[in-house]
Structures are given as structure tokens and as C-alpha cells.
Structure 1
């Protein structure tokens, strides 16, 4: 309902998309919405496969398998075309952004970085978790500029990437000014930053705050999560695995403890929207001192949350090895396969890291890269198969006269 009714705590693009479809089709808009989301998704998969085939020569069989894997979110588990949630358009946008930046990495054609940045702008105004693309792209553009000695020609793109967070913030605030009357970023960040910090907090941490309001807010939250056994101390006392306990209780801490306590504290003096802004500002201000004060425990939880998203630490190690394998090959063997391996492993690790900072690594937030490991496997298997064929032909004796 938050997207249909354009709630204040929703980012701009998807509510505008949903309401645009509703404006055209009226009260029966849900079926056309699902259809459009499915079409958008299939077109993005088709575009991804077509462009990859032009730049990485694999047998059609491998690309058929990859296409099947890319459409899994539409037919199994998430069924994202059937949902009124941001992933319905974030996933196809993500694929388009990925292929545009891969094409730039392959061919150094600046039009692809331009298209990619435009699509990235839309993607970030849909889900801000993809902010990691900006530093990744800055490194990529600098590397390409160095390799091709074209730094001056790439300067406009570098400046655009540096300014992109400010452009996102401006667009987000402008939308809320028009739609809700407040020139502010979407106020739904602080509670998610504060939740993991509250999970590892101790009762004595109240002393780090100087504001009486923050002290009182912290005490209410701490007492609630402690009583309901939503914190790390409860997990250890019960002998539960910390990360499983954290993932199971994250939403209870953020959405059902921090938010309602803040709402009750401030709604008597403020309007509903002003209350939401106050909660967001206060929780954001409280999060960083609390993280700093409990950094070792917070960082340990972050690492566990990060690994949980990969299912276990072995897969983390696998992705790290593949990333450095791709990077190491770029120096002497700049084939598109190794560029692709370096890029897709980098964005997979980066996405998981961003999600793990202020969320629980549920599949809904991390499924965007489920295709990556298969894609790498297909490329490596095809490479090995081709090399074996070459070796076989080279060692084959010529026929006798």
C-alpha cells in the first residue's frame, strides 16, 4: 500500500510508476501493472543476453542456460512481476545498468557509461542500496582512462559520478517537496542504521549521549528489545546462533520497536510527516556514536550478516578468489571474460556489503546477483572446452599418404 498510496517513506520512482499505471487503467490497474513489469523484465533479460553474446563468444547453449537463470525471479520464489514492490522494476533496471557498464568496460565506448549513469540514476531513486555502483564506476573509469590515455575525455563522466549522490539527493527531496510538501530525502534510513547497533548495545551505552531526548529514546528502545529478547545478549543466553537470531529479529527491532517508540514520543507535538522526519534525524544521529562505541561487536555482526547473505564463509572466499583472479588477469590478458569476472564479482560483494551495514541479508535484498556464479562458471567451462579443442587439433597427426 505504501507504493500505491505514495507514502512519505517511499523513494520516488516506483510509486510514480505504479500511480502512472493506475492513472491510465483506473481501479483495474493491477493486472496491467503485472503485465508491464513482466514485459520490462523479459526485455531486460533479452537485452542482457544479446549484448553479452556480441562481446563474449560462448555457445548458444550456455546463453540459453543463463537466460533461464536470469528469469528465475519471475517464475520461482519471489515472482517479482506479481508484486507491488520495488524489486519488480529494480531487478530489470539492475540488469540494464550492469550490461551498460560491462559494455563500457569491454569496448571503452563512452556512450555506454553515459547510458549506464542515466539508468543508474533511475535505479538509485528506486532502491538506494545500489549506491555501491558509484565508487566501483569511479575506479573503472579511472582505470580505462589510464589504459587508453584519455583522462581529459573522461573528465565529464568522473565529475558526474562524483556529483551523482548530490543529484540523487536533490531529485529525492524535490519529489517529496512536490508530493508531500517537505524538501527532504526519503526519511527511512536512521532506524535501519540504528537497529544493528541496538542489537549489540549494552544498557550503559546511554552515557554516550548528551541530549536528554536521545538518552530517553535509547533507554526506551533498549528496555524494549531486552525485555522481548531481540538483542545479542538474549541470543547468547539462550545458546542461539547470533546471526540467525539477528536476522529473525531485525524487522522487530527496526520497524516494530524503534519506529513505534519514536512515533509515540513525537506524534503528540508533531504532524505525522514531521514525526517521521524527526524519527529519521534522531535515529541517524544516534546510530553513529553507538556504532563507534561498540565497533568490535558491531563489526563482528556485520561480518556475520555479510557471510549469511552468501550462505556461508566458503562462498565468500570463493567470490573473493574469483574477484582477485579476474583482477590479476587484467594486467596481461585483458579479454572480456576476465573483465566480466572482475566486474560481476565486485558488484556482488559490494551489494552484500551495503545491505549488511543497515539491513538483514534476506533474499529479497540480495537476489539481484544470483546469476553471477553461474555466469562465471559457464564462461570458464566454455574457455576450458575451447582450449581442449584447440589442443586436440594441434596434437592430431596429419593423415598418411
Structure 2
């Protein structure tokens, strides 16, 4: 048995070495968003900018190579840790562990090539895998220490990418289930409180960071822009009547006029017969947001404000405008949200599959407290939680949804492992 595990470790090590070589053969890649991280813009959450500042201060002229190296090494560590937790809890055998390692490495060497990008995805993916490993370990062993150790890691992940806020209700759900099974709610009272308090703690950390770096005790000011973009995409010309002030009405009318002229509003689209308004929105999300919405919002701000102050004022203004517009266009927004989410799942069939897996696993778990139902159910909820959060404001493209692309493979590996184990025991 030990020899088999040694062989699987060697195979995983070879995969890591190949991935390391492939990543280092490619240069660091900079995107429009990269500048915001490098220059610590106020619209960027603190996690990744602080990491880049650390890398620059330590490695100087070799900063790019060092950053890529750290990102792939941390990625390999997180994958090995994930697999170690699965094997120690007898979720996967040695063969399927190697198969899963290969699948988990794909974002580093194909497609997005996250380790080479000066974006937060690489660190987020690695932190994500460690947290999932901890959640699985707690769910199977009921060892509450796993969750206590998860809290600081999850805090770092939330200040790097806030889309992973869905880990909070998911963690509370696991705690409730284990408490229910053990009939001991008091035992998990403290960890429950800490999970509830974690968003407040990370929000305080976020505001403190901006106070130190930018001089303003505020949350990262970009949420309003993400929320209002789909709302204005589906809005009608008459919606200005639901707004209160002349400034709000002027903003809406200017944005709506520009969107209509550029045929970027759902009421004025001219899409091909093989396309849909939802797909147009997904493809043109950035143009809609940074074009008519951002430019018209910025034009109404006080000209004496600094760039940082403009971002803060714009976020506050747009957040206030978003609420009445959302209520007035909720039905159309909901249809767009549903289509955006389905795209994030990879299509209606995959969306249905994930929800069915989650539902069937939960029903099976109510009848039998078995590890396989816990693992498959939890994995499907990871996909569902991430997509449903992302689709609220962002376009659910692969950059934001790839984190759980391994789940279907993982589900197959777990099922095959269980069948193989059952056959071996019989």
C-alpha cells in the first residue's frame, strides 16, 4: 500500500515539475486590470496588491519571474494539500489522486494560464482549494479545528476576491448539519459566531487598508458599478421617474441615451438571429460599464475631487441610484440574471445537472450519513454558490467561474473510487 502511495506521489511530483517548467517558459502577462493591482488603485481589494508590493520589494528587477514562480509553487502546494486531505480521509485512492492532480493543474498550463497572469486568480484559486479541503475534512471527520484553521485563510481569500463570500453560508450550513447529527449545538456556537463575524472583520480590514494607503476609511468602491450595469442594460426610458434628485435623473437620462444610440440597451438591440440579449450583455459587459455608465457618472462629479475621491463618490452615488431602478426593473433583471447564471454553469443542461446532484445528494444524506453523499453534495454547492454570486453583477465568464471546473471530474473520480472500493471489499 505504501509503495502504491509512493508511486502516486512520484507521478504527482512529475506533473508538478512539468507544470513548473511550462509556466516558467512563458512570460508574465499584464492585462488592463494589472495596472490597478500594481499601483494599488482604490478600486482593487487589498489582497493581491499587497502580495505584488511584497514581491516587488523583495525581488526588485526580478519581480515578474518571482511572482510567476511563487504563484505556480503555491498552486502546486494547494493541489497537493487538497489531495492529501482527500487521501487521508479515504476519499480517493492513489490512481484517482494523480488524475485529480492533473485536472487541478489545467488552469495553470492551459486556457487562462493563471500563474503567468498579473491578476488575482492564481492566488485565489490556490486559497480556494485549501479552504475546500478544510471544509471536506470537517464534514467527514467533524473535527471543528479544521474550521478554526480555515478562518484566517478565508479572510485572506475574501480580501483578495469578495466573490467567495458564499463560503460563509456554506460553512454555516455544514456546521448546522454536523450540530444536528451530533445533537450538540453548543459545541459549535463559537465557530458559528466567528463565521458570521468574518465578513465584518474582512470589511474592517478592507477599510483600514484603504485608510492607510488612500486616506479614506471606505470599502473598496466598485460594487455599485457591477450592480448597476445589468440594471441599466434592461432599463426603460421612463425609469427616470423613480429617481429622486435632478442629478440622479440627469445621470440616468444621459446613460440611457448613450446606450440607446450605441444599441447597448436591451430595448434597442440588433442582435443576429443566432444570438440573444443575454449573450450580447455578456460579450459587451465591459464596454457597457466603462463606456456610457462610467463616463456619464464621472462627468457629474465635482471636478475638484481627486481620482480616488471620484471613485468613492461615484460608487456611493451609483449605489443609491441602483436600488429604485432594480425594484422597477426586477422582472427583466431577473431574466438577465438567470441567463447570465446559466451561461456561467456552461449551459442549461449543466445548470440542471449541478442542481440535481446537489438535491439528490442532500436527500440521500438525510437517509444515510455517508461520506460519498457529503463530498458530492458539497462539491456541487461550490459550483452553484460561485456562479449565483458572480451572476448578480458581473458577466459570468470563465475568468470568474473556472474555480470549480474540476468538480464534475472530481465527482466521477469519487464515484469510480467508491465502486472500486466496494468491488475490492466484496
TM-score of the aligned structures, taking structure 1 as reference length: 0.94
1:143 and 2:190 correspond? no
Matched, 1:123 2:157: yes
C-alpha separation between the residues in 2 aligned to 1:224 and 1:388? Answer: 65
The separation in 1 between residues aligned to 2:197 and 2:324, in whole angstroms, is 27
1:1-400 equivalences under 5 Å are: 1-235=35-269, 239=273, 240-388=275-423
* 1:243-300 Cα deviation digits (max 9, x unpaired): 2111111111112321222222215142211111111011111112111111111001
Give the Cα–Cα distance (whole angstroms) in 2 for the partners of residues 53 and 142 of structure 1.
25
Secondary structure of residue in 2 paired with 1:65 = helix
Gaps (5+ residues) in structure 2?
1-34
Q: Secondary structure at the match of 2:383?
A: helix
Q: Is the 8 A contact 1:56 1:336 kept in 2?
A: no
Deviation at residue 27 of structure 1 after TM alignment: 2.9
What is the rounded CA distance, in whole Å, between the counterparts of 1:212 and 1:8 in structure 2?
28
Deviations 1:353-397 (A, max 9, x none): 00000100110000000000110011112323444555xx5xxxx
Aligned partners of 1:65 and 1:150: how far apart in 2?
A: 38
Aligned pairs, number:
391
Give deviations 1:90-146, integer Å, cap 9, x for gaps: 000000111111111111111101111211111000000011111111121112112
Shift of 1:342: 1.1
Q: Which moved more, 1:21-30 or 1:196-205?
A: 21-30
Contact 2:42 2:308 in 1 (8 A): yes
Q: Return the alpha-carbon distance in structure 2 between the equivalents of residues 62 and 257 of structure 1.
A: 50
Q: Please identify runs of 4+ aligned residues in structure 1 that moved more than 4 A.
A: 236-239
Change (3 A) 1:63 1:279: same
Q: CA deviation at 1:159?
A: 0.9
User: Counterparts of 1:234 and 1:389 in 2: how far apart (Å)?
Assistant: 63
CA distance in 1, matches of 2:272, 2:331: 22
Cα RMSD (Å):
1.4
- Give the TM-score taking structure 2 as reference length: 0.89
Q: How far is the alpha carbon of 1:178 from its aligned partner?
A: 0.3
CA distance in 2, matches of 1:333, 1:237: 50
Once residues 217 and 345 of structure 2 are traced to their aligned partners in structure 1, the CA distance between those partners, rounded to angstroms, is 38
- Deviation (angstroms), 1:237: 6.7
Counterpart in the other structure of 2:26: none
Match of 1:398 in 2: none
Distance in 2, Cα, partners of 1:54 & 1:238: 53
Q: Secondary structure at the match of 1:343?
A: helix
Q: Distance in 1 between matches of 2:276 and 2:191?
A: 46
